[in-house]
Amino acid sequence: MNLGLKNKVIIVTGGSKGIGAGIVTLLAEEGAIPVIVGRNQENILKVIGEYRQKGYNVGYTFAELTQPEQCEQAVHSVIKEYGRINGLVNNAGVNDGIGLEHGSYEGFMNSIKQNLAHYYKMAQLALPELKKNKGAIVNIGSKTALTGQGGTSGYAAANGGRNSLTREWAVELLPYAIRVNCVVVAECFTPLYEKWIDTFEKPKEKLSSITNKIPLEKRMTTVAEIANTVAFLLSEKSSHTTGQLIHVDGGYTHLDRAINNEL
């Protein structure tokens, strides 16, 4: 796409698989220097090897993102190696199924740590570098907080927090020309999504019932389509876009109700 991201150092949390991996791949293709931050050392080293075989400059550092001190070590490691941070993609998280009736306070708080707290911590740690470079932050969110799914209190609260923090940070960081946006994901067939689908008695039927409700082309959003939007928001091509919750979902979040009401 030639988005002008060449040599831009961009941290991507959870960047070794799923949506994160799609983002890292596209950024590498654009000539950026994506840096994967995550805890799965074996998987990260495997994908780093694959990227380097293709000649891509992709960095990495290990961190358990629920541990603030490890987040700090990771960001310091990136600055030490590359001397700058131009962008941050907060992506890591998991729908852990912590509900209200059968959940627990401890489980709920752990879900917040896994899915929201590190968004704040990583942004705070990267902020001095982002201020120097007029960088950009892209948070990855989920439609769970917008349309509701039973039994996901922790994940829903975290995603609601991601949306709110996106707007809050966009306002707070206006004086530094740092843009903050959120890409809200609905139905995208990642390994985690497949794992969730497999929990149903009839996975194929469940998947079909979902895709049939996606207005545009009756199909799931691809990882590449999400990555394209993220890369655009990180680039100067979106130089006057901030504080936005952008739904890359084929109209699933908003259009399905309008269409159904018309039928």
Q: Domain 9-187+223-262 carries which CATH code?
A: 3.40.50.720
Is 193 catalytic? The answer is no
pLDDT reading at 67 higher than 90: yes
Q: What is the mean pLDDT of residues 179-198?
A: 84
pLDDT reading at 45 higher than 80: yes
Q: Which of 119, 155, 193, 252 is catalytic?
A: 155
**What's the pLDDT score for residue 148?**
45
pLDDT tier, 257 (very low <50, low <70, confident <90, very high otherwise): low
**What's the pLDDT score for residue 197?**
79
**What's the pLDDT score for residue 191?**
73
What residue ranges do the domains of the chain occupy? 9-187+223-262
- Residue 148, class by beta-carbon neighbours within 10 Å (0-12 exposed, 13-18 middle, 19+ buried)? exposed
Record the tokens describing residue 81, joined without a space: 């190696």
pTM greater than 0.85:
yes
